[in-house]
Homo-oligomer: A and B are copies of this chain.
Amino acid sequence: MFTTQTYVARRKQLAEAVGHGLIILPGNGEAPMNYAGNPYPFRQDSTFRYFAGLNQPDLILTINAETGESLLYGDEATLDDMVWMGEQTGLDELAQRAGLQVGGNLQKAVDTLCLSEVVHYLPTYRDARQMLLCQCLNEDDRPSEKLIRAVIAQRSYKSAEELAEMDRAVTTSMAMHRAAAAGAKPGMREAEVAGMVEGLAISAGGRLAYAAIVSRDGHILHNHAHHNVLREGDLLLIDAGAETPSGYAGDITRTFAVGAEMTAKQQAVYDIVDDAKRRVIEAIRPGVPFRELHDLSARIITNGLKQLGLMKGDTAEAVAAGAHALFYPHGLGHMIGLDVHDMEDLGEDFVGYDEEFQRSEQFGTRNLRLGRRLEEGFTITVEPGIYFIPILTDRWRAEGKHTEYINYDALAAYRDFGGIRLEDNVVVTADNCRVLGSV
């Protein structure tokens, strides 16, 4: 597990990279659900947790980039708090655990912020944090690109301790998928399976890393409705991952036929996706641009769909034109770590792209979150899929789009097929990669 020295070293590295000014990293507060006293499960800000390790709400960390001085701010608990919530760890002890000095209460943090000439802060994703920063910043202040890049430069490379947590997240996630595959029966509602999956993430001491997808409508990419009744032979797509107690995410997708062997038609599509996943994983190594691996997966899928008579023409040309995106309209994968889309709050293009690789503007490929060359220590998802999306098929057909690559007539037989996605998480090693959860 992570030691106090880990956090001290991380902050030192960050201060050196930023060099000048005051870095402010506010932790998250409680997020009200239907009234202030009934919050959602607390979720710490990932960057705050990375640099301070503390999982309590309403804390603020500041780092003086010149001196490295790191201060923790927070309000102390009252006796009433302790009667209701149990003994609360004092600010002193929290600071000590993280190797920090005590800065004072939250108001003092705001005062300090207001007095600082150069403040480095990250983009906000919760209104409360925006309102906190608004108390002190000028209208033309912007999140610090220097800080964003420095944080990404650290969090992108996972340490051995972090990889142990990632393995744990994936191992729990795989247990969730095994339970779902064993438990899903014809006649059940999708919600029943979703409850099994989410219950196991909680039983492991964490929670889900993101809202689970448990759907016989696998072609609806982000479908969080779970009201369908499962029928024998339905393809059930489950995209679900555990978050460990220390905050690391798993992100695993499996697709299976409910209460039955797959039909030959289902198996044929499954095999294409499985082949794409396997061959991408075999091709992963430091230096390979993820954008090229995405294109590789698109070509494997296109070739497979040609064999099924659903696509036609030259594979490379079809992929270059973006015709495959009718069936595969998302990206091959993304960074994963303390966030399931790691550091997405800092800006996807900062995380996944660079001067060498910019985001495509083409439908489908523009959803690829990661394009840059892989490096040792990156943890990423590999998640190809094939979907039959009636609303998109109808639109493209009506527009006469990519008729040289797509056999629209043959697609009629797949209208109710649904979708298949298969997803693993891997760490890029010195020579190739290792599938996480496999130790």
Residues of A within 8 A of B (CB): 31-41, 43, 45-46, 79, 82-87, 125-128, 130-131, 189, 191-196, 198-205, 210-211, 217, 220-227, 245, 329, 338-341, 344-345, 389, 391-392, 395
Contact = CB atoms under 8 A, between A and B. Distances in A.
Q: Which of A37, A189, A225: most chain B Cβ within 10 A?
A: A37
27 contacts: A31-B32, A31-B33, A33-B40, A34-B45, A34-B338, A35-B125, A35-B345, A38-B210, A38-B341, A39-B211, A79-B395, A83-B329, A84-B222, A85-B221, A87-B391, A127-B128, A191-B203, A193-B203, A194-B202, A195-B200, A195-B201, A195-B202, A195-B203, A198-B199, A198-B202, A199-B199, A199-B200
A198 B194 CA distance: 11
A201 B87 CA distance: 30
Nearest to A35: B345
Tallying the copies of this chain within the complex gives: 2
Given A34-B46, A46-B34, A196-B199, A205 B221 contact: no
A29 B403 CA distance: 40
A35 B341 contact: yes
A392 B86 CA distance: 10
B131 A37 contact: no
Nearest to A389: B83
A28 to B, nearest CB: 8
A32 B192 CA distance: 25
Contact of A221 (B83, B189, B192): B83
Q: Which 8 A-B pairs have the closest CB atoms?
A: A199-B199, A195-B203, A127-B127, A195-B202, A35-B345, A86-B220, A195-B199, A35-B344
B40 A40 contact: yes
A205 B189 contact: yes
Contacts of A341: 35, 37-38
A33 B201 CA distance: 17
A199 B203 CA distance: 9
Contact of A36 (B125, B217, B245, B329): B125
A203 B211 contact: no
Contacts of A37: 341, 344
A192 to B, nearest CB: 4
Contacts of A195: 199-204
B339 A34 contact: yes
A211 B84 contact: no
A220 B338 CA distance: 30
Nearest to A225: B86
A32 B124 CA distance: 10
B38 A217 contact: no
B84 A221 contact: yes
A43 B35 CA distance: 11
A119 B35 CA distance: 22
Contacts of A86: 217, 220, 223, 225
Nearest to A79: B395
A194 B203 contact: yes
B38 A391 contact: no
A227 B205 contact: yes
A299 B339 CA distance: 51
Contacts of A191: 202-205
A38 B189 contact: no
A34 B345 contact: yes
A340 B204 contact: no
Q: Which of A86, A131, A338, A339: most chain B Cβ within 10 A?
A: A86
Given A38-B339, A199-B195, A392-B83, A205 B220 contact: no
Q: Which of A83, A338, A395: most chain B Cβ within 10 A?
A: A83
Contacts of A210: 38
Contacts of A395: 79
Given A199-B200, A203-B194, A345-B36, A83 B31 contact: no
A225 to B, nearest CB: 8
Given A83-B392, A195-B202, A203-B192, A43 B33 contact: yes
Given A85-B220, A85-B221, A86-B225, 9 more contacts: A34-B125, A36-B345, A82-B391, A84-B220, A86-B223, A127-B130, A192-B203, A199-B199, A199-B200
